[in-house]
Amino acid sequence: MTHPPETTEARAAAPLATAPASAGSGDGGTDNGADKTRGGWRGRRSYRGTVAPYGFLTPTFVLLLVLMVTPITMVIGYSFVDRVIINPNSEFVGFENYAQVLGDPVFFKAVSNTAIFAGASVIAHFVLGMGFALMLNSPMIGNRLKAVYRAIYILPWLFTVAIVAVLWRMLLSPNGIVNFFVTELGFAEEQIAWLSDPSLALPAITFINIWAGYPFFMVSLLAGLQGISSELYEAARLDRAGPVKQFFNVTLPQLKPIIISMALLDFIWTTQQFALIWMTTGGGPIDATEMVSTYTYKLAFSTYDFAVASASAVIIFLLSMTLAFFYVRHQKSRD
């Protein structure tokens, strides 16, 4: 009485595995030995199948735990205690730190400035990026000229934030070249303090951010444009669609997934912009360019109030998570 092996692999494995069992059990042990063999093999296979994936995932889990979960948990914890880090005997204060942040009019000014700064930047990044991408994808421009334009247009993206800040501080200085042209060409009678005038500072740093960030949109949209099948344009032309109709009925729908992804990512990144603002205006004049990032930084490293800074950071984290939720949902719907 023998049980037929269930698979070819099992047949091959059985003799090796049964050898010690047969030797030990003497006669009549064939059936039991075969059962044990299959059970042991299945156990090892099951064990390997269960544990191996976790082995592969462990480095990622550890990295996530150390670099993401731990700091986020700590910051959330800090936000519920009083004078954390500075005071060795911090006490739990519930939502008091949150109340302090949400009761501060400067925080709302910072949120408003951040929304304007990020919103205007994303829209302008899209418009400029799309315009330049269309130009670089146009068959009317030769390849060599395209390469030159591509190199020029992408330049702002290659500068680090510190260089961008220093460069534009010099350009927009009251004695800078921008004021030279503005006054020489008769647009203004006297020098304009672009970054020091409370009514101009926010538009000025938004402009700088637009200048520094549009190439990212441009490169992504250019890649998208190059992936659109020419057959779609041929079909549109057969339907007597002009360039404008082709743009709105072929190009934009084809680029829609890229545009939505880019816009969401750009908005999230721009709301987190700190270095550019800090190095150009420091959040001033007064609170004209105060952003949530500069507001939180000042709480942490100027007043050393890490607990309230943590509460502010958690609020920003929740706002960012809302945006991230839409981004992930959009990505899932694409998949």
Partner 1 sequence: MRKWIGATAAVSALALVTACSSEGASDGPSDGDGGGNGETVTLEFAQWWEPELPEGVLRGLMDDFEEANPGIEVELLSGPYASTREQVVAGAASGTMSDVVGLDGAWVSDFVDQGSIADLTALMSDAGYDDGELASQVQLGGSTYMIPVVNFAYMLFTNDGLLAEAGVDAAPSTRSEFEAAAIAVSESDENTSGWILPLSLETPNGIQNDVMSWAWASGGSMLTDDGAPDVNNADVQSAVDFVVGLDEAGAVAPGAATLKEQDKVEEFSSGRVGMMISSLAHINTLRESSPDLDFSLHAVPAEDGYSGERGTPYASWGIGVAENSENKEEAWKLVEFLMSADANGELANAANAFPGNSTAVPEFVTQDEIFQSAFDVWNEGYPANEFVGLPVAEQLMRDMAEELQRVLNGDISVEDALTATQTKWESQF
Residues forming the site for partner 1 (CB under 8 A): 48, 51-52, 55-56, 58-59, 62-63, 66, 85-88, 169, 173-175, 191, 193, 195-198, 201, 278-287, 298, 301-304, 306
> In this structure, which amino acid lies at residue 288?
A
d(Cα 292, Cα 282) in Å, to the nearest integer? Answer: 12
Q: Is 150 helix (H, G, I), strand (E, B) or coil?
A: helix
Q: Which is nearer to partner 1, 162 or 223 (CB)?
A: 162
**Sign, Cα dihedral of 298, 302, 304, 305:** negative
d(Cα 120, Cα 125) in Å, to the nearest integer? Answer: 8
Minimum separation from the CB atom of position 211 to partner 1 (A): 18
d(Cα 310, Cα 189) in Å, to the nearest integer? Answer: 47
Minimum separation from the CB atom of position 88 to partner 1 (A): 6
Minimum separation from the CB atom of position 133 to partner 1 (A): 34
Minimum separation from the CB atom of position 297 to partner 1 (A): 10
Q: Which is nearer to partner 1, 201 or 315 (CB)?
A: 201
d(Cα 318, Cα 310) in Å, to the nearest integer? Answer: 12
221-257: string of b/e by CB count within 10 Å (b at 16+)?
bbebbeeeeeeeeeebeeeebeeeebeeebbeebbee
Minimum separation from the CB atom of position 218 to partner 1 (A): 30
Determine how many CB atoms are found less than 10 A away from the CB of residue 87: 12
Q: Which is nearer to partner 1, 57 or 152 (CB)?
A: 57
Q: Which is nearer to partner 1, 38 or 298 (CB)?
A: 298
Q: Which is nearer to partner 1, 114 or 251 (CB)?
A: 114
Q: Which is nearer to partner 1, 67 or 235 (CB)?
A: 67
Minimum separation from the CB atom of position 213 to partner 1 (A): 21
